[in-house]
Chains A and B, each alone.
Chain A
Amino acid sequence: MAKRTPLYPCHLALGAKLVDFGGWDMPLHYGSQLKEHHQVRNAAGMFDVSHMTIVDFPDPDPTRVLLRYLLANDVARLYPGKALYTCMLNDSGGVIDDLIVYDRGDNGYRLVLNAATRDKDLAWIAPRAERFNAAWRERHDLAMLAVQGPEALAKLEAVLDAPTLQAVRASGRFHAVESGGAFIARTGYTGEDGVEIMPSVQDAPALWNRLLDAGVAPCGLGARDTLRLEAGMSLYGSDMDETTTPLVSGLGWTVAWQPPERDFVGRAALEQQRAAGAPQTLVGLVLEERGVLRSHQTVHDGDREIGFTTSGAFSPTLNRGIALARVLAGVGDRCQIEVRSKRLSAQVIKPPFVLRPA
């Protein structure tokens, strides 16, 4: 049977359309994916992301050494309360997963990994953690709710005491606040301000219902996908995987090359690719005519096929088809995409598609 999050009964009560996602029964939408998308862009929405994998490393010192080796970004850049987005690479520089690591000071580090990659991630991490004497445990006892949108922080008044909310407001993007057992991070997957809260499995349904009563719209994985795509955020398994490096996936900015003496898994392969010049690049495509883009459509520059789309959708905010595409380096500012045997013209942009003031 598929796994269910502690909020599963809440989804049923709201009439969610459920789908299988990575072995989990998850809400796709609660009636209209488009309305949910707009709700997050214009007000506030919430997502059950309890299926994601939370791993805690309680010992700061051995873990810092481990993570500086295991991750392509450098946790030495962190300080207590700060978060970092990074890839975890294999020896060829391919992406095993992308994740967020939180520095919890004396309490060590917290990693949030994808749900669909859980088994291989933990199989990769376990022997390396052992070698560095870094203890870890998976937090099955925690749920995770993302509350996102321009009104997200205001809506948190319904669930947080004033000092905690003040601390969250003061903390800034990509920071986390811990208070009375709750973990509240200013992170997300929509491009909007907001938080990801990790309550206990027991507390999660009450938290969800209080946010619901406060007017936060429940949103499913469908809206989550179009929101992250508009924000130019990568989806593991679509935009990058073990056969692609961060350099051909628009994620070169997440690789910490300095200091040069830091040895991290995949470094040699990445340096080689960087020296030779990455053969491809991940770009954003905006369709200039009516239509919808999907993944795995071929991209052309005149007679030449130059790549393919890795994610595609109809952007509810722009009212246009948009896509991320891996194309040959040196692509111009226009291209054509093959959609049902027709070539549609598109503008090539650097993501994000939808800009937000920070």
Chain B
Amino acid sequence: MSSTIPSELRYTETHEWVRSQEDGIVTVGITDHAQHLLGDLVFVELPEAGRVVTAAEGCAVVESVKAASDVYSPVDGVIVEVNELLADNPELINEDPYEEGWILRIKTSANLEGLLDAAAYELIAIDEDEDEEGSLTNAKLAG
């Protein structure tokens, strides 16, 4: 499985991407690799704007047909906006993970240099693709 990893973004080991904007605001979503692993998304639990978060803290939940998965804040900061469109259209994350499928915006003073760059994240994604050839944790399916 090959997935898109835009070179201008920063990444976490837990499959979030981060795009920095002006005024110390960053946009956060989950990577193309992550949405591939999850499969069709059917529900997104969004936080309230104004919530203070610390790096690696769970701040949203994405649920696919297969499993629920936490979205972790990549940085310390305050959530200033969430993508309300996802409430009715969780599939935006599958269709366009880096643009329309963004999840939240955080105001932060953190330096993004500590996060992974595209090359480093690609190594993690490739490793996982190889591991994934095995079994599914949610093995109770049908028949």
Choose among A32, A224, A290 the residue that contacts B141 (Cβ–Cβ < 8 A).
A224
A207 interfacial by beta-carbon distance below 8 Å: no
Q: How far is the CB of A77 from chain B (nearest CB, A)?
A: 25
The B44-70 residues at the A interface (CB cut-off 8 A) are 45, 61, 63, 65-66, 68
Stretch at the interface among B20-28, B76-84, B104-112, B131-139: B131-139
User: Is the CB–CB distance between B141 and A225 below 8 Å?
Assistant: yes
What number of A residues sit within 8 Å (CB to CB) of B?
35
Q: Which 8 A-B residue pairs are closest in the complex by CB-CB distance?
A: A314-B42, A20-B135, A224-B142, A221-B141, A34-B40, A19-B136, A225-B142, A292-B63
The A120-134 residues at the B interface (CB cut-off 8 A) are none
User: Is the CB–CB distance between B65 and A226 below 8 Å?
Assistant: yes
Choose among B43, B136, B143 the residue that contacts A49 (Cβ–Cβ < 8 A).
B143
> Measuring CB to CB, which residues of chain A are less than 8 angstroms from any residue of chain B?
17, 19-21, 26, 28-29, 32-34, 49, 51-52, 114-115, 189, 221-222, 224-226, 228, 235, 237-238, 290-292, 294-295, 313-314, 316, 321, 340
- In the complex, what residues of B have CB within 8 A of residue A52's CB? 143
Mark interface residues in B91-134 (1 if CB within 8 Å of A CB, else 0). Answer: 10000000000000000000000000000000000000000001
State whether A21 and B65 are in contact (beta carbons under 8 Å apart), knowing that A290-B43, A314-B42 are contacts in the complex: no
User: Is the CB–CB distance between A314 and B65 below 8 Å?
Assistant: yes
Closest to A311 in B: B140
User: Is the CB–CB distance between B42 and A235 below 8 Å?
Assistant: no
- In the complex, what residues of A have CB within 8 A of residue B42's CB? 34, 292, 314, 316
Closest to B65 in A: A33
- In the complex, what residues of A have CB within 8 A of residue B140's CB? 235, 237-238, 295
B85 interfacial by beta-carbon distance below 8 Å: no
A21-B135 Cα distance, complex, nearest whole Å: 8
- In the complex, what residues of A have CB within 8 A of residue B134's CB? 20
Q: How far is the CB of B61 from chain A (nearest CB, A)?
A: 7
- In the complex, what residues of A have CB within 8 A of residue B6's CB? none
Q: How far is the CB of B89 from chain A (nearest CB, A)?
A: 12
The B13-37 residues at the A interface (CB cut-off 8 A) are none
Choose among A19, A33, A115, A294 the residue that contacts B143 (Cβ–Cβ < 8 A).
A115
13 contacts between A and B (CB under 8 A): A28-B39, A29-B39, A32-B39, A49-B143, A221-B142, A222-B65, A224-B141, A224-B143, A237-B140, A291-B43, A294-B68, A314-B65, A340-B68
State whether A189 and B43 are in contact (beta carbons under 8 Å apart), knowing that A222-B66, A226-B65 are contacts in the complex: no
State whether A228 and B142 are in contact (beta carbons under 8 Å apart), knowing that A19-B135, A314-B65, A340-B61 are contacts in the complex: yes
A295-B67 Cα distance, complex, nearest whole Å: 11
A50-B91 Cα distance, complex, nearest whole Å: 32
A97-B112 Cα distance, complex, nearest whole Å: 55
A49-B63 Cα distance, complex, nearest whole Å: 27
User: Is the CB–CB distance between B139 and A20 below 8 Å?
Assistant: yes
User: Is the CB–CB distance between B142 and A20 below 8 Å?
Assistant: no
12 additional A-B residue pairs with CB within 8 Å, beyond A292-B43, A294-B68: A19-B141, A21-B141, A33-B39, A34-B40, A49-B143, A221-B143, A222-B39, A222-B66, A224-B141, A225-B142, A291-B43, A314-B42
- In the complex, what residues of B have CB within 8 A of residue A17's CB? 39
User: Is the CB–CB distance between B143 and A114 below 8 Å?
Assistant: yes
State whether A21 and B68 are in contact (beta carbons under 8 Å apart), knowing that A34-B40, A314-B43, A340-B61 are contacts in the complex: no
